[in-house]
Amino acid sequence: MNKIYSVITGTGSYIPARRQKNADFLHNEFYDSTGEKITTPNEEIVEKFREITTIEERRYADTGEVTSDMAQAAAERAIEASGIDKEELDYVIFAHNFGETYHDNIRMDIVPSMASRVKKKLGIANPNAVAYDILFGCPGWVQAVIQADYYIKSGDANKVLVIGADILSRVSDPHDRDSMIYADGAGAAILEARESDKPIGILGHNSRSDALEYADMLHMGYSYNAEVAEKKDLYLKMNGRRLYQYALENVPKTIKSGLDKLNIGIDKIKKVLIHQANGKMDDAILKRLFKLYGVKDVPEEVMPMTISWLGNSSVATVPTLLDMVMKGKMRPHNLAEGDTVVFASVGAGMNINSVVYRFP
């Protein structure tokens, strides 16, 4: 008997042209969370950062670009790749965390919604293409995909555009060492309903929110530089060490739980497309995941990574990674009919989610 499945029919991404290399931070004045100026030479700070995160450069939006511009570009590429008529979309779901961000004003702007702005920029006239935003930390795009799957499987939608975009460079404190992690970008995908007598597309998903103990691990706060803090602007702040431990303990369990629901073993997974948060952390998460299955040697080719040259662009990392692999830009990584993959992410909330997907 045929069932309805959610299938990705097109992807797109937008990677800003501006490269911000580690050397570009050598002239920053860094302070710790107590407001004390860090006396360690910046060369040592930057090198230690590279060793911990594997990041060597990241991409920043140009002065004239805003978040919805990047999202529009990614969405147009996804629509073109899918071959659909944009007027046939039932939903436009936009995952972000900071709304429309400008180079000269970091205050949040989310009215109208980001999804409505992009719908307008795409020129979609259909009033039945419902446009709304989702804020779910870095896992926002994956969670939006989960929502799209529910709409499709309930019969409420046939075609859904899911976008993830953020400009973190404008909400990060230049006096905080963690600012070197953050980057900008956008990714998008078209999901469509497809009948099949065998499981394809989204097979299942799993999510969790650990707010009681961990809600404040990522939060907004004043600059670590007291003079800048007097302006009362809020910047993205992170308890990196505690977050690392949280992710290492809980992300592998969440992914395995999602696979267990489907009775799929890790040996059946071609790729794990994970949020590009921290290179060393992602490596540790993957090793812990395979260890849960009693596997000591992790296949090198299972986890493609972009963080060393694109940095952490929040909700955009997973769809950007997916788009690049699908379009042959991450050789030797590739995806083909019958391959089963996992999308997974962790971030502010604290939230974790995963999606199991099989290519038709």
Q: Which tens digit of pLDDT belongs to each residue from 21-55?
A: 999 999 999 999 999 999 999 999 999 999 999 99
Q: Which residue has the tokens 């090793």?
A: 287
Indicate whether this model's pTM tops 0.85. Answer: yes
Of 2.60.40.10, 3.40.50.970, 3.40.50.2000, 3.40.47.10, the CATH number of 201-358 is 3.40.47.10
212, with CB counted inside 10 A (0-12, 13-18, 19+), is exposed
| DSSP letter assigned to residue 109 | B
pLDDT for 105 equals 86
pLDDT at 1 over 80: no
Which percentage of the chain shows pLDDT scores above 90?
Answer: 96
Distance (Å, rounded) from C-alpha 98 to C-alpha 220?
11
In this predicted structure, what is the pLDDT of residue 266? 96
Of the ranges 69-83, 102-116, 234-248, the best mean pLDDT one? 69-83
Q: How confident is the model at residue 276 (pLDDT cuts 50, 70, 90)?
A: very high
Per-residue confidence (pLDDT) for residue 114, from 0 to 100: 98
CA distances for 37 relative to 217, 241, 351, angstroms: 22, 20, 32
Between 1 and 247, the more confident residue is 247
Q: Note whether 120 and 126 are within 8 A (CB).
A: no
Q: What's the confidence (pLDDT) of residue 300? A: 83
- Give the model's confidence band at 240: pLDDT under 50 very low, under 70 low, under 90 confident, else very high: confident
**3-class secondary structure, 66:** coil
Residue 107: is its pLDDT beyond 90?
Answer: no
Picking from 38, 161, 141, the residue whose alpha carbon sits closest to that of residue 91 is 161
Mean confidence (pLDDT) of the chain: 96
Report whether CATH 3.20.20.70 matches the domain 3-196.
Answer: no
Over range 242-253, report the average pLDDT.
95
* pLDDT surpasses 80 at 178: yes
Residue extent(s) of CATH 3.40.47.10 domains in the chain = 3-196, 201-358
Count of CA atoms in the C-beta half-sphere (13 A) of 216: 3
What the block records as the tokens of 149 is 């799957």
Instruction: Look at residue 289 in the predicted model and tell me its pLDDT.
Output: 97
Predicted confidence band of residue 173 (pLDDT cuts 50, 70, 90): very high
Length of the chain: 360
Q: Are 278 and 53 in contact (CB under 8 A)?
A: yes
Mean pLDDT in residue range 61-72:
97
CA distances in angstroms from 209 to 243, 254, 288, listed in the order given: 14, 11, 20
Give me the pLDDT at residue 6, please: 98
Q: Kindly state the tokens that stand for 297.
A: 């040697």
Q: What are phi and psi of 301, to 5 degrees?
A: -85, 0
